[in-house]
Structure 1
Amino acid sequence: MHATPIRPRKRSRALAAAATALALFSGSIALAPAANAAPPETGTITLDAPSSVEAGQTLEVVAEAPAATDLYAYSLTVDFDPTVVEFDTAATSHPTDGFDSVSEAAGSVEFTHTRLGTSPGLEGETTLVTFTFTALAGGTVEFSLSEATFVSSTDETLELTAAVTASTEVTADVDPTPTPTSSATTDPTADPTSTDEATSTDDETATGDLASTGSDASVWTIVAAFAAALAAFGVVLVLRRRAVNR
């Protein structure tokens, strides 16, 4: 936020036209005697905006005069980046005995306020206008109060000499990056039956080995039985020979 002093100048054409139109609309604008003519006072004008918002949210930009004296009418122009924010509305909190006008162009908005009839000028700390915007996209937007003219009830004017600015950072929504999850991978070229075949082959090998082992055991059993038979036959022969010899 920056604040810039202002200095007296002649009435601007915009405010002169607005005053003329309002005079026709309301009948007349009561002014103080010319002998008491004096420019209005405002103090150091300020422009306030939030430091940051998210895209899609609304934000308010407020222009204030901290020490107004006989402030009967004024016109303010605020410039902004239309690719980052979009203008919505502009309003004051002054009593109802006044008239507001808003004029919008690409990247700028002009707000004009004037009192009506015999209404007194604004006094003291005054909120001049509250602009409402909608944040569109990420980026930094600078709001610049580039022009301002203030008019007293005696038709004297005060004009801004340098721009007053405020900045807002707009953050865009970022989709969270999905966390990769681990999963078993398979070879798309692999034969899905290979595992079954390998298992079947292993089973067959194991069965063959067992069958072979069983076959070998049968052979040895027969050999052992034959040897036992021979041994028994030899024993029989020996016993018979002994019997004869007796």
Structure 2
Amino acid sequence: MPPRPRRAAIAAPLCAGLLVLSAAPALAAPETTGLSLSVPATAAVGDTVSLGLELGETADVYAYALTVEVDPEVLAVVPDSATGPSGGFDSTEVSGPDATVVHSRLGSSPALAGDLAAGVELTAVGPGTTTVEVSVELVAADGTTTSLPAVASTEVVVAAPAPTPTEPEPTEPEPSPTEPAPTPSPTDDDDGAPAPTAAPPAAGGGSLPSTGIDALGLGAAAAVLAAIGGAALLVRRRTGGAL
């Protein structure tokens, strides 16, 4: 197998093939009906999106180079992410804000014809809006080239990542209000037992709180003493003062 081709102004990947085909008759310039590309219209920072490329109805394409131009502050081409037709060599070369996707046939492999599909990966590196532009250079087996003007895609809008929610710091619970101690009732003793209630006074008198002697009993005693005294006085009067 010849050494893997490397790009040098698009002719370098073809050196091995041109040596093999140097005796072949010259062919017409490579042809295509045009380039179309697709890329998501929106993305978020950190996303990886696929850029799809298609060359319509090609003829005599031995190699091609697709130059992808993007705003490097919004999108970046992922190195070594190029894909292309089978039976060839694909590479992605990044130079500053631009990247070139190169495909080349190997050795004596025949040139390509028909619709060709290729692709490359892009990484969203920052918020903003950018336009993706792709220019094409086709190379025939004899080194003849055909260049296509840049084709612009739909604008790609990259949104900033959503903020990560932060956990609130724990706060000390507020102390519950203390209830005031109950005020003892005037009728309660210190131990909380209800104070004894005084008995209501009896009819016609009442108790003497100092001695506890019933007032009715004192009245009866006084009447007895008064009767005795009256009887004694009556006796003295009758006896002339002598008992």
Which category describes the TM-score, using the shorter chain as reference length?
0.5 to 0.7
Which of 125, 137, 143 aligns to 2:132? It is 143
Q: Which amino acid in the other structure matches residue 95 of structure 2?
A: A
C-alpha contact 2:21 2:142 (8 A) present in aligned 1: no
Q: Which amino acid in the other structure matches residue 157 of structure 2?
A: E
The aligned residue for residue 206 of structure 1 is 184
C-alpha contact 2:137 2:146 (8 A) present in aligned 1: yes
Which of 75, 82, 89 aligns to 1:91? It is 82
User: Cα RMSD between the aligned structures?
Assistant: 4.2
Paired residue total? 216
Aligned pairs for 1:65-214 (under 5 A) are 65-88=55-78, 89-96=80-87, 98-127=88-117, 129-145=118-134, 147-171=135-159, 172-176=161-165, 185=174, 195=178, 198-199=180-181, 202=182, 205-206=183-184, 210-211=188-189
Larger Rg: 2
C-alpha contact 2:30 2:58 (8 A) present in aligned 1: yes
Deviation of 1:131 (Å) = 0.9
Deviation of 1:100 (Å) = 3.3
Deviation of 1:185 (Å) = 4.0
TM-score w.r.t. structure 1 length? 0.66
Identify if the C-alpha distance between structure 1 residues 229 and 178 changes in structure 2 by more than 3 Å, giving closer, same or farther.
Answer: same
Identity %: 25
Bigger RCO (CA 8 Å, 6+ sep): 1
TM-score w.r.t. structure 2 length? 0.66
Structure with greater strand share of residues: 1
C-alpha contact 1:55 1:136 (8 A) present in aligned 2: yes
Identify if the C-alpha distance between structure 1 residues 24 and 233 changes in structure 2 by more than 3 Å, giving closer, same or farther.
Answer: same
C-alpha contact 2:60 2:141 (8 A) present in aligned 1: yes
C-alpha contact 1:71 1:121 (8 A) present in aligned 2: yes
Q: Which amino acid in the other structure matches residue 151 of structure 1?
A: V
Q: Distance in 2 between matches of 1:162 and 1:50?
A: 19
What secondary structure does 2:188 align onto? helix
What secondary structure does 2:109 align onto? coil
Deviation of 1:15 (Å) = 7.8
Identify if the C-alpha distance between structure 1 residues 20 and 240 changes in structure 2 by more than 3 Å, giving closer, same or farther.
Answer: closer
Structure with greater helix share of residues: 1
The aligned residue for residue 22 of structure 1 is 14
Deviation of 1:104 (Å) = 0.8
What secondary structure does 1:75 align onto? strand
Deviation of 1:23 (Å) = 1.7
Q: Which runs of 5+ in 2 are unaligned?
A: 1-5, 232-243
What secondary structure does 1:90 align onto? coil
Q: Distance in 2 between matches of 1:26 and 1:39?
A: 15
Q: Which runs of 5+ in 1 are unaligned?
A: 1-13, 187-191
Which of 16, 35, 47 aligns to 1:45? It is 35
Q: Distance in 2 between matches of 1:16 and 1:38?
A: 23
The aligned residue for residue 7 of structure 1 is none
Deviation of 1:68 (Å) = 1.4
What secondary structure does 2:11 align onto? helix
Identify if the C-alpha distance between structure 1 residues 142 and 177 changes in structure 2 by more than 3 Å, giving closer, same or farther.
Answer: farther
The aligned residue for residue 3 of structure 1 is none
Deviation of 1:78 (Å) = 0.5
